[in-house]
Each structure stands twice: as C-alpha cells, then as structure tokens.
Structure 1
C-alpha cells in the first residue's frame, strides 16, 4: 500500500506562519499536520505501508525533504519526494508523482485531519472519504444510489444533492488506472478554472463501470487559517487526552504554575508563575512567565511574558511581552 500526499501549496491563509514553514508541517498537538495525517491513514488501513510519496514545492528546502522522509520511515515505509512547479490543480499534483502511481494507494491532501473507525471496502475500485455537513453548498459532495455506491461528484451544489462532503482523501484499488485517466485529462487539456482536477479522472473511471463507495469519517478537522488551526489543535488534544496519550514531557520545569489539561507541553519547557490550558500546545524549549494561556498554539524556542492569551498562535523563536490576546505572530517575530 502507498500513500500519496500532494502538499505543494504554501498555505497563504495561514500566514505569517507559512512564510517559513509549509502548512502541512505546522504542528498540531506537538506533531506536524502531515505526520498526523499519514499516521491516521495507516491506522485505518491496518496494513503495511510500503511508500509515502510527497509532492512539494521546489522551494521547500532540504530540511523539509529530510523531515518528510523521516515521517515515512517512522511508518516503516520508503519516503519519496516529487515536485510540483506550478499550481495547476489536484489532478496535476497527483501526476507529478506518476512514477509512484501503481498498485493500491491512498491519495490524501495534507491540509486536513480526521478521525474514523471503519473497514475499508477493498472490493470497490475506489473509496472517497466523506463527512456529513450542515452546509453542503460550501463543499464538493457525493451522491449515492440505493446500493450506497457513488453515482455523482457535485461541486458546491446550489440545490440540495447530498450532505456528504468530500474531505480530500481517496483510496484506489489500483491507482495506475487513475494515472491513465488523468494522463488523458492532461493530454486533452481538460481544464476547470485553469486547473486539472482529480474528479475528471474519477468520473472517467466511473463511466467505465468502476465502483466507488463512501468511507465516512467521524471527525473532520481543517487547518486552513489561524482560527480553525487553533480550534483543530484543541480538538486533537481532547481526542488524544481521552485516548490516554502522554502529552506532557517529563522534562518540563514548573515553578508556581498550573496546567489544566488537555495540553501538549514539549521538551525543556519552562513555566514560571503561569496558568496553561486547557487546549494549549507549547513547543520544545519555550519559556512562559507571568502569563495565562488557553486555547492557543505556541511553537518551539519562544519566550512569552506578561501575557493573557486566548485563541493565539505564535511561531518558532518568537518573543512576546504584551497585553494583546488573540495574536498571530510568525517565526522570529518580536512584540514587546
């Protein structure tokens, strides 16, 4: 089994945090988004992952490539790096990894997290992960027949078609079939809004009698902008806390401080006269003094003083000393 992860977009809606780090490497509850994504997919599949192929931007750098290969290796898989030089859509991104498109595979776009507990239907030619939503007109949705097979993919329907939204994760029994259909899309220059779309490949497969079924998830968490990323961090902390996962490092130095769980507290964090939590992640080596922080995400090696933070997001190596509450400052920023 392979996992293909298109992730070349920087994530402009999450700036300034994505000016220095690609969005899929932003940590949620102490672990990069893409790391959590591939781990959760591996749990659902419950079988050996042979390869994880990442499609990234050419400017992401050697350290990002090393980190991504390390994520694959943590699953006992080979890590492969491909590049997408132009933002030409979901279908184009997948075809950038065409040398890895063979055999059973999951394709997952790295800006979403999920929680699911279901058995993968390996008799189907494909599975499209979906989540029931209240406002389906804002999403791409799937329409089902009486056999609960997918008959249509509809993008942002004005009239009600279905409330099952596509979350951007797909299984293909043989992803080489999708590759062949997407090659046709590229050869015929079938553009939608100036982009090549995965849906055109799936529709071509369905037109040839291939069966697609839905895989429903219990939770779908977005990381599109600062507010929803902070919210997703809190939701993930609650899931991990209920599962009994150890979230607070033994190396945390605590003086006249209290932690209200759930919280992730990384290695060598210093808490001095601080109240932390609930729903707070604090990265390695960060120092927090004379502060109250809840519902926030703080990365590595930062210094926070005299703060009262709620719904805040602070990058790596930042310094903050002030009265603002709902702040969002990136790496190496200073606000004193």
Structure 2
C-alpha cells in the first residue's frame, strides 16, 4: 500500500504562520499536521505501508524534505519527494508523482485531520472518504445509488443531493487507473476553475462502470485558517487525552504553576507563575511567566510574559509581553 500526499500549497489563509513553515508542518498537539494525517491513515488501513510519496514545492527546502522522509520511515515505508512548482490543481499535483502511481494507494490532501474506524472495502475500485455535515451546500458531496455506491460527485449542490461531504482522502485499488484517466485530462486540457482536477479523472472512471463506495469518518478537522486550526488543536488534544497518550513530556520546570489538561507540553518548557490549559499546546523550549493561557497553540522556543491568552496561535522563536488575548503571531516576532 502507498500513501500519496499532495502538499505543495503554502497555505495563504494561515498566514503569517505559513510564511516560514509549510502548513502541513504546523504542529497540532505537538506533531505536524501531515505526520498525524499519515499515521491516522495507516491506522485505518491496518496493513503495511510500502511508500509515502510527498508532492511539495521545491522552495520548501531540504530540511523539510528530510522531515518528510523521516515521517515515512517511522511507518517502515520508503519516503519519496516530488515537486509541483506551479499550482495547476489537484489532478496536476497527483500526476507530479506519476512514477509512484501503481498498485493500491491512498491519496490524501495534507490540510485535514481525521478520526476514523471502519473496514476498508478493498473489493471496490475506489473508496472516497466522506463525513456527514450539516450544510452540504457548502461542500462537494457524493450521490449514492440504492446499493450505497457512489455514482456522482456534486460540487456545492443548490438542491439537496446528500449530506456526505468529500474530505479529500481517496483509496484506489490500482491507482494506475486514475493515473491513466488524469493523463487524459492533461492531454485533452480538461480544466475547471483554471486547474486540472482529480474529480475529472474520477468521473471518467465512474463513466466506465468502476465501483466507488464511501468510507465514513467519525471526525473531520480542518486546518485552513487560524481559528479553525486552534479549534482542531483543542479537539485533537481531547481525543489524545481520552486515548491515554502521553502529552506532557520530560524536562518541564514548573514554579508556582498549574497545568489544566488536556494539554501538550513539549520538552524543556519552563513555567513560572503560570496557568496553562485547558486545550493548550506548548512546543519545546517555551518559557511562560506571569501568564494564563487557554485554548491556544504555541510552537517552539517562544517566550510569553504577562499575558492572558485565549484562542491564540503563536509561532516559534517569538517573544510576547503584553495583555492582548486573541492573537496570531508568526515566527521570529517580538512584541514587548
């Protein structure tokens, strides 16, 4: 089994945090989004992963590439890097990894996190992962026949089709079939919204009678902008706390301070006259003094003093000394 992860976009809606770090590498509950995504998918598949192929922008740099290769290796898989340097759509991104498009594979876009527990129907030609939503008109949804098979993809339907939204994760029994259809999309210059779309390849597979079925996830968490990313961090902390995962790491120095779980506290964090939590992630090497922090996401090696933070997102190497509560500060910023 392979996992193909298109992630070349910089994540403009999450700026300033993505000015220095690609969105899929933003940590959620102490671990990068893409790392959690790949692990969660591997858990659902419950079978060996042979390769994880990442499609990135070349400007991400060698350090990012090395981190991604390490993520694959932790799953016992080979890590492969491909480049998409021009944003030409989801279909084009997948085809940038065409040398890896063979055999059974999952394609997953690295801007979402899931919680799921279902048996993958490997007899189907494809499984499209979906989540039941309250406002289907805001999403792309699937249309099912009486047998529960997917017969149509409908983007933001004005009339009710179903309440099962496509979340951007797909299984293909032989991803080479999708590869052939997407090659036809490129060759025939089939463009929607100015881009080559994965849906056009999928629709051609459906037109040839291939069997598509839904795989329903229990939780679907977005990381599109600051507010939803902070919310996703809180939800993930709660899930991990319920799972009994160790979230408070070694080397913490605490003086007259309180941690209210669930929280992720990275290594070598220093707390002085501080209350941290609930729903807070503090990356390694952070220092918090005379402050209260809740419902917030703070990355690494950041210093926070005299603050009362709620719904805050702060990058790495930041120095923040002030009384603003709902803030969004990128890496290497100083506010004193």
Q: Same fold (TM over 0.5)?
A: yes
Question: Counterpart in 1 of 2:207?
Answer: 207
Gaps of 5+ in 2: none
Query: C-alpha separation between the residues in 1 aligned to 2:95 and 2:137?
Result: 28
DSSP-derived class of the 1:316 partner: coil
Question: Counterpart in 2 of 1:25?
Answer: 25
* Two-structure CA RMSD over aligned residues (Å): 0.4
User: 1:251 and 2:251 equivalent?
Assistant: yes
Deviation per residue, 1:168-188 (Å, 9 max, x gap): 000000000000000000000
Q: How far off is 1:209 after superposition?
A: 1.1
Q: Tell me which stretches of 4 or more aligned residues in structure 1 moved more than 4 Å.
A: none
Deviation per residue, 1:40-99 (Å, 9 max, x gap): 000000000000000001100010000000000010000000000111111000000000
Question: Counterpart in 1 of 2:293?
Answer: 293
Question: Counterpart in 2 of 1:330?
Answer: 330
DSSP-derived class of the 1:152 partner: strand
Query: C-alpha separation between the residues in 2 aligned to 1:213 and 1:62?
Result: 38
- Tell me the number of residue pairs that the alignment of Structure 1 and Structure 2 aligns: 336
Listed as ranges, the matches of 1:1-336 within 5 Å are 1-336=1-336
Query: C-alpha separation between the residues in 2 aligned to 1:147 and 1:99?
Result: 35
Query: C-alpha separation between the residues in 2 aligned to 1:20 and 1:230?
Result: 18
Query: C-alpha separation between the residues in 2 aligned to 1:255 and 1:212?
Result: 57
Query: C-alpha separation between the residues in 2 aligned to 1:5 and 1:270?
Result: 36
State the TM-score, normalized to the length of structure 1: 1.00
DSSP-derived class of the 2:291 partner: strand
Query: C-alpha separation between the residues in 1 aligned to 2:30 and 2:208?
Result: 44
Query: C-alpha separation between the residues in 2 aligned to 1:250 and 1:88?
Result: 44
Query: C-alpha separation between the residues in 2 aligned to 1:221 and 1:47?
Result: 24
DSSP-derived class of the 2:59 partner: coil
Query: C-alpha separation between the residues in 1 aligned to 2:66 and 2:318?
Result: 24
Query: C-alpha separation between the residues in 2 aligned to 1:222 and 1:250?
Result: 29
Q: How far off is 1:251 after superposition?
A: 1.2
Query: C-alpha separation between the residues in 2 aligned to 1:171 and 1:109?
Result: 12
DSSP-derived class of the 2:52 partner: strand
DSSP-derived class of the 1:59 partner: helix
Deviation per residue, 1:7-49 (Å, 9 max, x gap): 0000000000000000000000000000000000000000000
